[in-house]
Amino acid sequence: MRIVLRLLLVAALVALGFWLWTVLFPGPEKLIRKRIAEVARLASIAPGEGLVTQGLRIQSLVNCFDPHAELTFDLPGRSQYTIAGRDEMTEHAGAARRNFRSLKVELLDPNLALSPDKQSAVVDLTAKVKLPDERDFIVQEMKFTLKKINGEWLIIRVETVRTLSCSPQGGSLAVCRPVRAPGGHRAYNAWQFLPFPVGRVPSRGVVLEFSNRRLISSSIPQTD
Amino acid sequence: MKSTTNNSGLPAWLRTILIGRKPKWTLIRIAVLVVTCYIVFGFLVLVIRIEGPSMLPTYSTGRINLVNRLAYVRREPRRGEIVAIRLSGSEYNSREFVHDLVRFRLNFDRLARPSVMYMKRIVGLPGETIEFVGGRLLVNGQPLDEPYVKARYRWEMPPRKLGPDQYFVVGDNRTMAIDDHEKGVPLRNHIVGRVLL
């Protein structure tokens, strides 16, 4: 009996040690999940927030992003728009706080893919936004790209994903739309799942044909 | 009136009700029940609460329903079935699940219960061409009989050919403009299961 108790004690100590290790030295996945949870908490607006609290929360929210981070929203029935850089983010966060008394943001079901070198990660998640005085809530699938910069996981890109827009077989057409690229350059991308490297696509109006989310062909118009 | 008591100070009849005549077996039964409920309601049958007008009049906001996650293990989805579609992440299909199970490398994110799901009706099957003309849904150029649609807005959508593993889903409420209604082709591994009730 004494041996069993000793074994149990050793097992408990090992478990405690392991738990302490994960708390003191969290892995990248844990840090990323913590960052995502922090963004959701800071993006939410509590009713009756004071001006100082608002400012601090906006500052903390913006600090979760890289200075050149880009947020691209492509929502059904609305034209695509992009928020680039911390200044624009601060403006939009301030405007949201002026327009809404309260707002609850939840970032749910994160699905995390870490790069082999563990220096960047892509998180696919579901954003759930509850507006005040509204019975329904807004849900949107989103893709967050994070990068480890100076030992800190910062968000470098946020994109909306159209869950029910799997490309049909036989090809579909998409015309490139301009997006703002880091450093003020203009880049073009077609759909959110097909980001082009800056400078690879020459001009606006390039017609791309897809099949199962793969590019089949592209044609560049004679005149731009 | 007499009532026997035990060491715990509870009357015998109350003790029998609470923990049974054989406490050890009661404990085992409770443990089995808890584990079974956890597996059934955590992984096999999902309990959902419906929100939003997309499936009106078939389903209204606030109604509780169940999703059978094993519905498409042995067969593929059929036309007219109402399915739950997860947004982020992906579901195991039966082949992937068995493949990962035998190699002891299950991805628990794919098993985890999604928090938010779309609820839509399957109207288009793999290989078919779907289009909306004047609010009528055409499958391979033929109008589909949809008794569940009570009122329709004049939706227009050009023909769309579905791939070998693609299903077209749409809600029953067609009274809004086409752009305001979430519909389309989800990835097959985003289909969580069939709505039961």
CA A71 – CA A126 distance, rounded (Å): 15
> Looking at CA atoms only, how far is residue A186 from chain B in angstroms?
28
> Looking at CA atoms only, how far is residue A223 from chain B in angstroms?
27
Give the pLDDT band (50/70/90) at residue B17: confident
E strand intervals along chain B: 45-49, 64-68, 82-86, 117-124, 129-133, 136-139, 142-143, 157-161, 168-170, 191-195
User: Is A179 within 8 Å of A90 (Cβ atoms)?
Assistant: no
CB atoms within 10 A of CB A221: 11
Cβ–Cβ below 8 Å for A126 and B118: no
Residue B185, chain A, CB below 8 Å: the answer is: yes
Per-residue pLDDT for B194 more than 60? Answer: yes
- Least confident range from A68-72, A93-97, A130-134: namely A130-134
- The enclosing H or E element of A219 equals strand A214-219
> Looking at CA atoms only, how far is residue B47 from chain A in angstroms?
17
CA A29 – CA A113 distance, rounded (Å): 9
CB atoms within 10 A of CB A217: 10
Residue B3's pLDDT is what? 52
Residue A57's pLDDT is what? 93
Q: What is the pLDDT of residues B157-180, one digit of tens each?
A: 999 999 888 899 999 999 888 888
User: Is B43 within 8 Å of B111 (Cβ atoms)?
Assistant: yes
Cis ω for the linkage preceding B57 (within 30 of 0):
yes
Find the mean pLDDT for residues A157-185: 56
The rounded percent of chain A whose pLDDT value lies above 90 is 42
- The enclosing H or E element of A16 equals helix A2-24
Q: In what order do the strands lie in the sheet with A104-114?
A: A81-84, A65-73, A152-161, A137-149, A120-130, A104-114
Q: Give, as one character, the DSSP assignment of residue A195.
A: P
Per-residue pLDDT for B128 more than 60? Answer: yes
Residue A173's pLDDT is what? 35
Cβ–Cβ below 8 Å for B183 and A111: no
Every domain range in chain A assigned CATH 3.10.450.50: 1-164
Domain A1-164, what fold?
Nuclear Transport Factor 2; Chain: A, (3.10.450)
Per-residue pLDDT for B32 more than 80? Answer: yes
CA A206 – CA A220 distance, rounded (Å): 5
Q: Among residues 104-123 of chain B, which lie with CB inside 8 Å of chain A?
A: 109, 112, 114-116, 118, 120
Given the cut 0.90, state whether the ipTM is greater than it.
Answer: no
The amino acid that residue A179 corresponds to is V
CA B118 – CA B115 distance, rounded (Å): 10
Cβ–Cβ below 8 Å for B115 and A108: yes
Say how many CB pairs under 8 Å bridge A and B. Answer: 88
Find the mean pLDDT for residues A148-167: 87
Round the average pLDDT of chain B to a whole number and report it. 87
CA B163 – CA A167 distance, rounded (Å): 9
Assign domain B44-195 one CATH number from 2.10.109.10, 1.10.3720.10, 3.40.190.290, 3.40.50.2300: 2.10.109.10
Q: What is the pLDDT of residues B49-103, one digit of tens each?
A: 998 888 989 998 889 999 998 888 888 999 999 999 999 888 887 778 888 888 8
What are the boundaries of each domain within chain B?
44-195
Task: Using the structure block, give the residue that is written with the tokens 């979760």.
Answer: A64
Q: Among residues 67-106 of chain A, which lie with CB inside 8 Å of chain B?
A: 76-77, 106
Q: From residue A192, how far is each of A71, A223, B28 by CA, in Å?
A: 11, 25, 52
> Looking at CA atoms only, how far is residue A142 from chain B in angstroms?
8
Cβ–Cβ below 8 Å for B88 and A169: no
A163 neighbourhood in chain B, CB within 8 Å: 85, 87, 118, 182, 186, 190
- The enclosing H or E element of B95 equals helix B94-102
